[in-house]
Amino acid sequence: MAELVGVLNCSHVWIGRPPELWDAVRQSRDIRADVPTETMEERVEKAARVAAAVKTMKDKLAELRPDVLIIVGDDQDENYPAPAFRVLPPISVYVGDEFAGARYDAPRDAPHQVVANHAGLAKGILYGLMDNGFDPAYCMDLPNPDKGIGHAVMNPIGYFTEYEIPVVPIVINAYFAPCITGKRANQLGNALRKIVDEYPEDLRVVAIGSGGLWHTTSAPQTWLNEEFDRIGMEYLSKGDLKGWANHFDSYMPDEDDKSQWVGNRDRGATGMPMTPGPQFGTREELDWITASSMAEGSPFKIVDMVTIYSSPIDCTFAMCDDIKPLKVK
């Protein structure tokens, strides 16, 4: 039988960005006046912490010796282009034999990196989700092959592997309202764990949640809610994913918070009413909630949460290798 042997969660941006380039990014964004400005010394120290966290996660993945990765990420104008929004499935499973996308460390015009899928497990997940009350979409080929699969899938592969491990991509709409909720992400992760436990092939499986934490970088008056993320990480460290999902869904933006406004249709918003919880990039925390809910009740180690005001983002890394039997109330 297949076995979930670990869960890794990571931010999928700001990895390897030289500190001397941080200020240019800050100057390009409409950042709220109360967000602090980092000194060069602080930027260098934070960049070193990010690099150390990536190495810790990469070393842990090698130690876990996975046969297959399940990466939960979102799509941002890559295969479901905005603002057309012709099709935007809440949950999609890639079931083709392989996929390709841009390497995070390659020039924009470089050839795409090809990655093997584990089509057997992917199809098992597709049918298993249908048996567990979900109605996922599926892809046998990428809707937009010229663009390649999204950075939410490709970046973690590049951070932690040499592209040699088969990957099952699960893409959830964690960005464009109406999105899935924290509650639904928690249920999805629980279902994925059940499916993995029942899959008949002898596989060591590691799940990866990709994205977050709090960031609304392209929005007006963007800022960083460090307290929101700190509380979320407290829930995660205890393995209380239902608690984290409730914390996420219970968030109510202030009426004057311009960084949360999704009412105008554009490349970052459908213009439809927001789903409960914070908006835009922060909703990538749902990718974490989904992947982590496969290990509901298991403790997580917060490797580091690096507060980067130049973005601004809580660039965060967490992992679990003490997977306990799933007990869902």
Say if CB 115 and CB 94 are below 8 A apart: no
Model pLDDT for residues 279-309, shown as the tens digit of each residue = 989 999 999 999 999 999 999 999 999 999 9
Expressed in angstroms, the distance from the first to the final Cα of the chain is 24
Model pLDDT for residues 125-145, shown as the tens digit of each residue = 999 999 999 999 999 999 999
Model pLDDT for residues 15-73, shown as the tens digit of each residue = 989 999 999 999 999 999 999 999 999 999 999 999 999 999 999 999 999 999 999 99
Q: How far apart are CA 79 and CA 67, in angstroms?
A: 27
Collect all residues with Cβ–Cβ distance below 8 Å to 1 and sequence separation of at least 6.
197, 198, 199, 200, 201, 202
User: What integer is the mean pLDDT of 161-173?
Assistant: 97
User: What integer is the mean pLDDT of 72-81?
Assistant: 90
Model-level pTM? 0.96
Domain ranges for the chain, please list them.
3-320
Predicted pLDDT of residue 329: 62
Q: Is the dihedral of CA 182, 184, 190, 193 positive or negative?
A: negative
Tokens representing residue 22 in the block: 């941080």
Say if CB 30 and CB 220 are below 8 A apart: yes
Say if CB 103 and CB 12 are below 8 A apart: no
To the nearest whole number, what is the mean pLDDT of the chain? 95
Say if CB 90 and CB 180 are below 8 A apart: yes
Q: Assign domain 3-320 one CATH number from 3.40.830.10, 3.30.70.260, 3.40.50.300, 3.30.429.10.
A: 3.40.830.10
For residue 43, the Cα-to-chain-centroid distance in whole angstroms is 24
